[in-house]
Amino acid sequence: MDTAMQIVAAHATFDDQRNIVAVATYLSTLQANPNPVQGSGAHLRLGQEIYTHICAACHGVDGRGAQANRVPRIAGQHYPYLQRQIEAAAALHKELAPPEMTSALRGMRPQEKDALADYISRLGHSEALLDSNRPNGSNN
């Protein structure tokens, strides 16, 4: 957590769950960053495959989440933030996150986690998400 957020989170009003929900609701109405920090793009196909099999069922194919089910929007977040969140989610106790998610993330190699974070950082943008390491440079 950065220093500014630590100051905000330490404020006495955050002892009340209603205030936390109010801030989260407000933040969810803001426009996404149009230029999030992204990874290298080297393994987007792998990231897409992992996302489709592990994340899309809850977060949606577009990564927008589901407010009614308290599933956060993850599309277009900054790559370094997503890397940290993937590591944190892998370490979560099964009561705090779906066990399917935490066990799948725990079993991933670092390259797979990076590919997933890179792919998610690009979700919501119009350009094609293609793996630059495909054989023969093909996009099909």
The whole-number pLDDT of residue 135 equals 46
12 and 40 in a single domain? The answer is no
Q: Over the stretch 47-62, which tens digit does the pLDDT of each residue have?
A: 999 999 999 999 999 9
DSSP 74-87: -TT--HHHHHHHHH
pLDDT bracket for residue 137 (50, 70, 90): very low
Q: Which domain holds residue 126?
A: 35-137
50 and 111 in a single domain? The answer is yes
65 and 129 in a single domain? The answer is yes
Q: Over the stretch 15-29, which tens digit does the pLDDT of each residue have?
A: 777 877 787 778 778
- Read off the tokens for 48: 């897409």
What number of residues does the chain have? 140
Instruction: Choose the weakest-confidence range: 75-89, 90-104, 113-127.
Output: 90-104
Whether the CB-CB separation of 33 and 74 falls below 8 Å is answered with no
